[in-house]
Amino acid sequence: MNRFSTLICIWLLSSLSFSSIAQIDFANLDEEQIYRKENKYNTWAVTLGYGPVIYYVDVIDYTVFPKNDWKMGPTIMLSKQFNRPWGLDAQFMMADMYGQKNTRYFKGDLLDFSLNLTFSINQFAIFGPINDKWNIYGKVGFGLTYFRSKQYRLTNGSYTNPDGTVEQLIPGQVLRVKHVYDYNLGYPDAYGWDREDYLAIGYARNGEGAPDKEIDRHNEIVIPFGLGVKYRINKSFDIGAEVLMRSMSADNLDVNLSGADNDSYMYTSVNLTYKIGKKNKRHAAWTYKDFNMEYKRLRQNDPLAVRLDSIRSEIEYLAAQDSLASDTTTIYTESIIYQEGISESVFFDFDKSDIDRRSERTLAKLARVMKANEEIRIRIVGYCDERGSEEYNLALSKRRCNSVLNTLVNQFKLPAERFQIDPRGESEMLSDTKQLQPYGLHLVNRRVDMFVIVE
């Protein structure tokens, strides 16, 4: 039970350690940080690690941590990330084994192969990495452990055979079944062992060359589970630590034939991860949830929202057709923009600042007028709906202003000095969605207005 308490304590300490930095700074998220299904991300990684292996078997003299003779082992993992929270890794680990109790000890080594499902805890809890630097994850899997081990005498002693002869038992001598168990009780011969067999697995029990002659390693099913943490250094490398308990399906790792509980061992490693892929792309595990995708899904199930979107599309289509119909319409558009209080506007999806095709047509008309009239200067005023903090919405409205400015300057080649940006966040909403629920229109509040600056 104590071995599982150790994992629980580590988990609690991890939670407390990162609780102070768990807030995501949505106001400063770049486009590459947001996970979108249609985008490409790096998803493969290879990890190298090293750390102690602690055995929980019958032949040990500790409850949680060894008093001495710590055993260390390396590990290598190949990982595939499916999306933000879920991944899969194939892991190989190897280590020496040791444990002692009373008058005996065991030694050996193992090879551990496992396939593990990984899940990011912070992706479920806060929808992204902690402070864009930390990922806490859980892991559970299935594998096989291949091992060899022998049990030895730790102190001087003796054994009296049934015929009365006495055998001297010296330290470092591999024990036989008869040295440890009472053969007359019928145990352990029921498990296929003979009283003259050496206590050895993966070595010859009896006969020529025993007990030093190596034979095929013994294998058992192992179930790994535990927790890990990663710190993002850059797009290519992470460092981290991982604590995994590996529970076996048998009780023979220490060649002890009368144990009651299955054996297990805990592997703690410090590791370095190399994220395979293009250096200009993020790894999928280090991205944030796309809230706009969830917003669109909800709108698709809202009949009123669907109807409003349809009406908006129809109006914008008719306006675009009308603007191409005749020169008269073009002249009308040019005269409109000179009037104080009349503006061109572009609208944005929830939590977005990118310019779509409809908005590009609006900005193209404005650019045409400004090129024909070089004295015109424009104030770009950005707004948001009220969802989100005031600080975040102010930053979002600034990004929307800059998107409009960048399109006019970079795409339509207008001088930047002819524009002023004025981000206002949620300060001036056209539709008060709080008082007009459920018929308030968030869409009209997510906009950028462009006014002629009147000197």
392 or 294: which leads in pLDDT? 392
How many of the other CB atoms lie within 10 Å of CB of 244? 24
> How crowded is the C-beta side of 57, counted as CA atoms within 13 Å?
27
Supply the pTM of this predicted model.
0.63
CA distances from 451 to 60, 379, 420 (A): 80, 5, 10
- Is there a cis peptide before residue 224, judged by omega within 30 degrees of 0? no
3-class state of residue 219 by DSSP = strand
- For residue 127, the one-letter residue type is F
pLDDT, tens digit, 9 for 90 and up, residues 184-240:
555 555 567 888 899 999 999 998 899 999 999 999 999 999 999 999 999 999 999
Mean of pLDDT over the chain: 82
Give the Cα separation of 256 and 344 in Å (integer).
83
In this prediction, residue 319 carries a pLDDT of 57
- On whether the CB atoms of residues 254 and 262 are closer than 8 A, the answer is no
What are the chain's domains? 2-286 (2.40.160.20), 326-452 (3.30.1330.60)
- Is there a cis peptide before residue 188, judged by omega within 30 degrees of 0? yes
Residue whose structure tokens are 């995708």: 293
Cα dihedral: 62, 64, 67, 68 (round 10): 110
289-292 contact pairs (CB < 8 A, 24+): 289/34, 289/35, 289/84, 289/123, 289/127, 289/128, 290/34, 290/35, 290/36, 291/127, 291/350, 291/351, 292/349, 292/350, 292/351, 292/352
- Is there a cis peptide before residue 129, judged by omega within 30 degrees of 0? no
- For residue 83, the one-letter residue type is N
Band of residue 25 on the pLDDT scale cut at 50, 70, 90: low
3-class state of residue 346 by DSSP = strand
Pairing outcome for strands 86-101 and 378-382: unpaired
Residue 140 has which token pair?
């559970």
- On whether the CB atoms of residues 197 and 177 are closer than 8 A, the answer is yes
pLDDT, tens digit, 9 for 90 and up, residues 38-89:
888 999 999 999 999 999 999 999 999 998 899 999 999 999 999 999 999 9
List the one residue out of 206, 286, 293, 219 whose CA is nearest residue 250: 219
- For residue 124, the one-letter residue type is F
In this prediction, residue 385 carries a pLDDT of 81
In this prediction, residue 432 carries a pLDDT of 58
- For residue 300, the one-letter residue type is Q
